[in-house]
Structure 1
């Protein structure tokens, strides 16, 4: 309606507001379309705009689309942040894209929040072997897991040691 009635100029704030609505409603296709429209309009697209679309894909269980948006973001020289990576890690876990999770964790500076999220997700998906490997790696890097991660690992390592 704003576009068709020329009520005002579309700006980053309006696009992001529309993408938040898409996120809440699970309209990942519309969020991607808005992102590309925003890029085509000549507006500068911020990391937070890309994050909204990646998060929408995460919530809609569209892991491969989230990865494509992330790759597109990188091609446009937009710097991802911790929120970008957290959303990607969670998305890849729900999509059972284990190699992609490992690739993401290898590319970024060691970040305990990313490892905690990956370990939580893997435990929830009952991928205890991967969770244990990440937990060992986390500890070897000198990072301290949060209490929930420690508890999950203690609970599941005892059950699944073979």
Structure 2
């Protein structure tokens, strides 16, 4: 097969994999990836990113490990997009040790990669680790964005970490992200879980818009604190 034909065929396979992802048909991605290789097509970085994203969504850790082995063998592990996808996939699958291992090997790390680690730490119950990563991120000169702050606030949604949460809130205000609906919702959720409804209400009032999640968080927070009447008023 001529080199140009190989490139065209690989492009077609990658396009099919990408369409599966966009259509939310992630369960079709791995079999399609396997079929691609049976047909003699060698995966490239775009192929691996599509497959890793599917594994992350499906929480298919074992399949992802096998794909990771292929990535190492192909020499694509050092690619920035592949590395970021690996970190995100392992974090979403709950394997923070593997995520950290890939993260440490990356020659450079942008905000997206840091966010994957911070969000993953919070979801895996490693709030302290997430806060350490946030501090390290800033020390390395990477600017936090709205996703970063959502991850930090989520890591602080227990009474033990309330002071860290307040510090994070101050940085959010300084960075101008306090009006962002996702960041605001995370702050409301944090304060409500800590039973500090005055602060939750203050953040809620300052938000430019509210979604169903934010309203529900406020109502549940008041219910938890015994403020049934206020919850009904909000409803």
TM-score band w.r.t. shorter chain: 0.7 to 0.9
Partner of 2:169: none
Structure whose CA Rg is larger: 2
The structure 1 segments of at least 4 consecutive aligned residues displaced by more than 4 Å after TM superposition are: none
SS of structure 1 residue aligned to 2:75: coil
Asked which structure has the greater RCO (Cα within 8 Å, sep 6+), the reply is: 1
Distance in 2, matches of 1:80 and 1:36, equals: 23
Distance in 2, matches of 1:64 and 1:106, equals: 21
Which TM-score applies when normalising by structure 1?
0.74
Residue 36 (structure 1) aligned to one of 30, 34, 38: 34
Q: Deviations over 1:67-105 (max 9, x none)?
A: 321221221233553332232222222222111111011
Distance in 1, matches of 2:151 and 2:54, equals: 27
Partner of 1:6: none
Distance change (3 Å), C-alpha of 1:106 and 1:38: same
Distance in 1, matches of 2:10 and 2:101, equals: 31
Residue 86 (structure 2) aligned to one of 62, 85, 88: 88
Distance in 2, matches of 1:67 and 1:96, equals: 13
Counterpart mapping for 1:49-64 below 5 A: 49-64=47-62
Aligned length: 150
Partner of 1:120: 119
Distance in 1, matches of 2:62 and 2:141, equals: 29
Q: CA deviation at 1:150?
A: 4.6
Kept in 2: contact 1:123–1:131 (CA 8 A): yes
Partner of 1:3: none
SS of structure 1 residue aligned to 2:69: helix
The structure with the largest helix share of the pair is 2
Q: Deviations over 1:95-123 (max 9, x none)?
A: 22111111011111231321122113323
Q: CA RMSD in A?
A: 2.9
Q: CA deviation at 1:35?
A: 2.3
Partner of 2:106: 108
Kept in 1: contact 2:80–2:106 (CA 8 A): no
Partner of 1:76: 74
Q: CA deviation at 1:125?
A: 4.4
Which TM-score applies when normalising by structure 2?
0.54
- Unmatched tracts of structure 2, length 5 or more: 1-5, 165-235
Partner of 2:171: none
SS of structure 2 residue aligned to 1:78: coil
